[in-house]
Amino acid sequence: MVEIYCAKVSLSNLNFSIDKEFSYQIPNNLKNEVEIGTRVIVPFGRTNKKREGVVTDIFGYDGVMPLKPIYQTIDSEKLISKESIDLARFISKKYYSSLYDAILLLMPPGSNIKFLEYVTLISNKIDDNMSDLKRFIIDYLSDKNEPVSLKELETKTGNDSVRKAVIELKKAGIVEITEENQNAHNQKSLQVASLLLEEFETRDYMEQFLKKAFAQRRVLEMLMEDGKMPIVDLIAFSGASRGSITSLQKKGIIDITDEILEVDPFILEKTKSGEKPILNIEQENVVNRILEKRKDQKYSEFLIKGVTGSGKTEVYLELVEHIIREEKQAIILVPEIALTPQIRLRFFNRFGENVAVLHSALSISERKAQWRKIEDGEVRVVVGARSAVFAPFSNLSLIIVDEEHETTYKSENTPRYNAKDIARYRLEKTNGTLVLSSATPSVENYYRAKIGEIELLTLENRYNNVGLPEVEIVDMRDELKNGNNSVLSESLRAKLMEVKKNEQKAIILLNRRGYSTFVSCRDCGFVIKCPKCDVALTYHSISGELQCHYCGYSEPLVNVCPDCHSTSLRYFGSGTQKLEEELYKMFSDTQIVRMDNDTTTTKMSHERLLTQFSKEKCAILLGTQMIAKGLDFKDVAVVGVISADSSLFLGGFNGAEKTFSLITQVCGRAGRGEKRGNAIVQTYNPEHYAILASQDQDYDKFYENEIAFRKNMKYPPFCEIINVIFTGDDADKIFAMADGIKKIMTEKVDLYGERESYIAMYGPVPCGIAKIRDKYRFHILIKCISAKSIQNSFSEAVKELILKNTFDINVAVDVNPVNFI
DNA sequence: AGCACGCCGACT
DNA sequence: GTCGGCGTGCTC
């Protein structure tokens, strides 16, 4: 009996329901190269098409069942560690994704490979009774006189049976099919696009020829701003397809060149290093307590509840200092790195060359460079957004999650992981320390601290002993009764006048949902909606267009109602337009800094706007919730919150939590030096506990109310929630399929004895936004004791569902969702 | 999912 | 007889 060495391989592009690990023989010549974590090319399916995969296990085998051999390895070394494979297994199981999708998160950036089929003409014999399609293909190939991808042939003919025809041509010996790695040519270099025209010429061209080509317009606008950009970034940031970029190249407007980019984007920020702040007693206690517990060399988890300005960053720095001294490694997660330049800078100043940065605004080549530094052990500290939790450290011992209540730690793409779960998993394996930190902790984690599952540490003293701002709640219903139908309450208006008079600064938060300004007809009530999404179009004063927030569709503003043809169109919503008008009356336009998704689409523009605001002597920062995050201005006299409650009842069970933390955070920005700041919160629900508690910035008061509500309603932390989202073209079929899951579930539930674990199942009902990009959306909400306790039955039900799915319905599973759209 | 195979009606 | 549409079942 001959023992053969075999490998289990996780293959790319498999859907969840057939996501198995496939076994292959390791040929003798690859015996020394193939290990767990090696990337390989294997034959797959009846026709042995080339597929990329990652080796997940090695085993000996007696050769009873014939196995196909691995073709070859891809990289010179293994790509990821065995520990990463285990982590990937954990992710795919917990979040119901394919194993390969989970592995993708752990691979070095930009290492995905796709095989394309190319067709080459090898003989010109044309049969008389050959179909038009075949004839076309042969003509096209001989015209081009080089291998053409099957995809190209498919798009050129628009015919579904191109593949079939090509295969028949192959059988007849007329063409040959080869498979090539699409990215093989630009492994090291990067394709970079640059403008060939002057800026004014580009603008002219856009006005003349690209009026409706929105994707191409966005690409050009980004190039005008940044000069040149890697194509990967252009695609990622503009949302345009590769096609629109090639078409611009064909028109001679842009040039595409191969360049080798090895830029360290933050090299300039690396200034002086080593300054060590002196901790106050409170900070020292927190640090000591954590270090004390670390001595047990067991996994430990802490929640630091620290009011804004209590100096959490110093605590982080001190902890990291210890980790470096122990020759171990640390990750600091921040909600959105572009919005938290200060914290990143502090780490650079303190630890200099020892720090790497990972976040979405980096280009692929930049990210690769950072990744390599981490893997090679050149750095001991990583500061980054959500995905930095996967930093390939081998001796990880500390993860700090700053602003742990933020929803950005949850990914909105499959696998829909939560970085906090990943952090916990990794540190449990290495007996490390997880530090969660927030001024307004998530209800779930505060509850865990209260019942003693994790340890609570508090920082209560504000830096310089500045008191928390004085918060005034204004009931907007009273304002209306008193004849003020402006968006600004009398109080806020008066405060802003003072700001102007005394040359101070103010921040105004427009709660996002309320911020949308839709256009409606006063005569017939018609609301102008996006033709593809079930949302009202938003008026944008900059472009003068109506735009869809979800798909980017835009159309010019009309002044006649499309429905009843009256001219009584009017802006509704929170009246941003009016708000801006009023603000412009008070301040000049250079003094108003606007920060929202429209003004901050390009990379790093956040930082530009923030520096602009901090430079001005007297200014107003106006924006959506992103202005509440991580900013640290020393001299804001007044904070105003417009439509504080618009997030209260929207978006699932956690609306109150979101509202409270948003208001508390933004109000915390008020305060100048040693003077207390003022905050005005405008609301239509002044009696709601989330609003009332925010007046005194009283987290515990909010928590007591909220936890009672959660307990009463059996919401997290008293259950776990799984959201299953179905999207597709046909609303009836989606509903039928979503409804079907219930039946399948009841079969599986008894099979696995998990009936007791289910609490309730709701739906199917249309999602909060019932249609996006022409796709209808329905969802089912499952409440269970814990997601793990229903894992077997639910996972089988989803697999079966996807397998049975014959009409192009997309199923997404979201475990413990934080956003419900 | 993707893809091949096979069965069936349609059409030169 | 061949082309193309669609249902079915498999992928180490």
Listed in sequence order, the DSSP H helices in A326-359 are 341-351
Separation between the CA of A170 and the C1’ of B11 (whole angstroms): 25
Bond from prior residue into A717 cis (ω within 30 degrees of 0): yes
A177 touches strand B (CB under 7 A): no
Judged against a pLDDT cut of 60, whether residue A235 lies above it is answered with yes
pLDDT range class, residue A262, cuts 50, 70, 90: very low
What pLDDT shows up at residue A339? Answer: 66
| Mean pLDDT of the A78-98 span | 94
Residues A653, A659, A661: CA angle, nearest 5 degrees: 110
Q: Is the pLDDT assigned to residue A635 strictly greater than 90?
A: no
**Under 8 Å between Cβ of A126 and A172:** no
Which distant-in-sequence residues (6+ apart) come within 8 Å of A707 by Cβ? Answer: A443, A447
Name the residue closest to C5, CA to C1': A161
- Collapsing DSSP to helix, strand or coil, A608 comes out as helix
What positions of strand C are covered by protein, i.e. any atom < 7 Å from a CB? 3-5, 7-8, 10-12
Residues of A 108-167 whose CB lies less than 7 Å from any atom of strand B: 163, 167
Going by pLDDT thresholds of 50, 70 and 90, the confidence category of residue A464 is low
* Residue-level pLDDT at A570: 72
pLDDT at A308 over 90: no
pLDDT at A606: 67
Closest by Cα among A463, A490, A429, A513 to A315: A463
Rounded to whole angstroms, how far apart are CA atoms A421 and A436? Answer: 12
A94-98, A623-627, A755-759: least confidently modelled range: A623-627
> In what helix (H) or strand (E) does residue A443 lie, and over which residues does it extend?
helix A443-450
* Statement: residue A238 has pLDDT above 80: no
> What is the model's pLDDT at position A234?
67
- CA distances for A27 relative to A30, A57, A71, angstroms: 6, 15, 8
Any idea which residue has 């968006």 for tokens?
A487
Out of A95-104, A141-150, A288-297, A334-343, which region has the weakest mean confidence (pLDDT)? A334-343
How far is CA A485 from each of CA A396, A470, A538, A702, rounded to the nearest angstrom?
57, 25, 22, 30
Distance CA A780, CA A760 (A): 11
Q: Which of residues 779-818 of A touch strand C (CB under 7 A)?
A: 806
Per-residue burial over A25-59, b if 16 or more Cβ lie within 10 Å, else e, is bbeeebeebbebbbbbbbebeeeeebbbbbbbeee
Report chain A's mean pLDDT, rounded to a whole number: 83
Q: What pLDDT does A597 receive? A: 59
Lowest mean pLDDT: which of A63-67, A83-87, A305-309, A764-768?
A63-67
- What is the pLDDT, as a whole number, of residue A265? 42
| Weakest mean pLDDT among A151-165, A305-319, A320-334 | A151-165
Distance in angstroms (rounded) separating the CA atoms of residues A322 and A220 = 48
Q: How far is the CA of A199 from the C1' of B10 (A)?
A: 58
Q: Which helix (H) or strand (E) holds A53?
A: strand A49-61
Amino acid A98: pLDDT: 93
- Residue A762 has a CB neighbour count (10 Å cut-off) of 12
**Diameter of chain A measured on Cα atoms:** 94
Contact A324, A381 (CB under 8 A): yes
Percent of chain A with pLDDT over 90: 34
Which nucleotides of strand B lie within 7 A of protein CB? 1-5
pLDDT for the residue A706? 96
Burial label, A157 (beta-carbon count in 10 A; 0-12, 13-18, 19+): middle
Q: State the amino acid at position A165 in one-letter form.
A: A
SS percent in chain A: helix, strand, coil, step 5: 40, 25, 35
Cβ distance A40 to A53 under 8 Å?
Answer: yes
- A568 or A267: which carries more pLDDT confidence? A568
Residue A146's pLDDT band (cuts 50, 70, 90): confident
Q: Tell me the average pLDDT across A667-673.
A: 78
For chain A, what percent of residues have pLDDT higher than 70?
Answer: 88
HEC string of A362-429 equals: CCHHHHHHHHHHHHCCCCCEEEECHHHHHCCCCCEEEEEECCCCCHHHECCCCCCCEHHHHHHHHHHH
Q: What is the pLDDT, as a whole number, of residue A617?
A: 80
Residue A402 Cα distances to A342, A397, A643, angstroms: 13, 16, 27
| Mean pLDDT of all residues in A528-553 | 74
* R_g over Cα of chain A: 29
Q: How far is the CA of A775 from the C1' of C2 (A)?
A: 39
Q: Is the pLDDT of residue A676 over 70?
A: yes
pLDDT for A286 beyond 90:
yes
Nucleic strand C under 7 Å from the C-beta of A26: no
Among residues A420, A424, A441, which one has the least CA distance to residue A433?
A424
**A804 or A39, greater pLDDT:** A39
Burial of A16 (0-12, 13-18, 19+ CB in 10 A): buried
Cβ-contact A748, A793 below 8 angstroms? yes
Which one is predicted more confidently, A547 or A693? A693
Find the residue closest to C6 using CA and C1' atoms: A806
What per-residue confidence (pLDDT) applies to A237? 55
Nucleotide nearest to A803 (CA to C1'): B1
Work out the burial of residue A617: count CB atoms within 10 Å of its CB; fewer than 13 is exposed, 13-18 middle, 19 or more buried. Answer: exposed
Residue A483, pLDDT > 70, answer yes
Give, in Å, how far the C1' of C12 lies from the CA of A745.
Answer: 30
Distance A155 CA to C9 C1' (A): 28
If one compares A705 and A576, the residue with the highest pLDDT of the two is A705
Full DSSP string of A767-818: EEEEEETTEEEEEEEEEES-GGGGHHHHHHHHHHHHHH--S--EEEEEES-S
Other C-beta atoms closer than 10 Å to the C-beta of A201 total: 12
* Residues (58-87, chain A) with CB within 7 Å of strand C atoms: 67-68
pTM for the structure as a whole:
0.83
Q: What sections of A668-730 are H helices per DSSP?
A: 689-695, 699-713
Spatial distance from the CA of A468 to the C1' of C4 (Å):
74
- A402 pLDDT more than 60: yes
Under a CB-based contact definition with an 8 Å cutoff, are residues A354 and A382 in contact?
no
Instruction: Choose between A784 and A808: higher pLDDT.
Output: A784
Protein-to-nucleotide distance from the CA of A402 to the C1' of C10, whole angstroms: 48
